[in-house]
Every structure is written in structure tokens, then in C-alpha cells.
């Protein structure tokens, strides 16, 4: 009986430590997502404000916008994955703790 309690306590502690580690990963991904979101806003603003007569400036703004859009898409997918994985882990942890 006591061995089962020690095992249950150890597993619970293990899962909660993983939970807090995953929270840190999600927070870091959120910061990166917010930063790249701001960069995308800046790139969109710069692209909208460029004078179309200046082709070099217009092309540069378009290239920056394309690169930032691509980075935003990848970061958004990573952020959604991190949040989904965290919530799934939390659900599994709660099921195992109260089972």
C-alpha cells in the first residue's frame, strides 16, 4: 500500500514539474509570437506608406513584408501547437492525479 502511495506521489510530482516546464515554453513562444506580430504590423505599415514611384523602396518593403509574413505563419503554427500540447498535457496530468 505504501509503495503505491510513493509511486503515485512520485508520478504526480513528475507530471507537475513537467507542467511548469511546459508553461515556461508556452510563455516564451507567446513572447516570440507577440514580437513577430508587431514586426508584421510594422512591415504592413511600411509597405502601405511606400511611394509606388520609388521602385527600389517599394521592392524592399515588399520583400520585408513577404519574409515577415512567412515568419509570422511559422510562429503562429508553433504557438498554436505549444498551447494545444500544454492543454493536452494538463488534461492528462489531471486525469492521472485523480485516478
69-78: per-residue pLDDT in tens? 999 999 999 9
Supply the range of the domain harboring residue 44. Answer: 25-97
Determine the Cα–Cα distance for residues 75 and 83; give it in Å rounded to an integer: 12
Domain assignment of residue 44, yes or no = yes
Domain assignment of residue 4, yes or no = no
Domain assignment of residue 81, yes or no = yes
Domain assignment of residue 11, yes or no = no
Domain assignment of residue 66, yes or no = yes
Domain assignment of residue 18, yes or no = no
Q: Higher pLDDT residue, 2 or 39?
A: 39
Please tell me the predicted confidence (pLDDT) of residue 43. Answer: 96
Integer CA distances (angstroms), 93 to 35, 40, 46, 48, 96, in order: 31, 36, 46, 48, 5
Domain count within the chain = 1
36-56: per-residue pLDDT in tens? 999 999 999 999 999 888 889
What pTM was estimated for this model as a whole? 0.73
Amino acid at each position: 500500500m505504501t509503495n503505491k502511495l510513493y509511486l503515485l506521489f512520485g508520478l504526480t510530482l513528475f507530471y507537475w514539474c513537467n507542467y511548469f516546464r511546459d508553461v515556461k515554453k508556452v510563455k516564451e513562444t507567446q513572447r516570440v509570437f507577440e514580437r513577430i506580430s508587431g514586426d508584421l504590423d510594422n512591415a504592413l505599415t511600411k509597405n502601405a506608406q511606400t511611394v509606388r514611384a520609388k521602385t527600389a523602396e517599394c521592392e524592399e518593403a515588399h520583400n520585408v513584408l513577404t519574409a515577415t509574413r512567412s515568419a509570422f505563419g511559422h510562429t503562429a503554427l508553433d504557438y498554436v501547437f505549444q498551447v494545444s500540447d500544454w492543454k493536452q498535457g494538463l488534461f492528462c496530468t489531471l486525469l492521472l492525479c485523480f485516478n
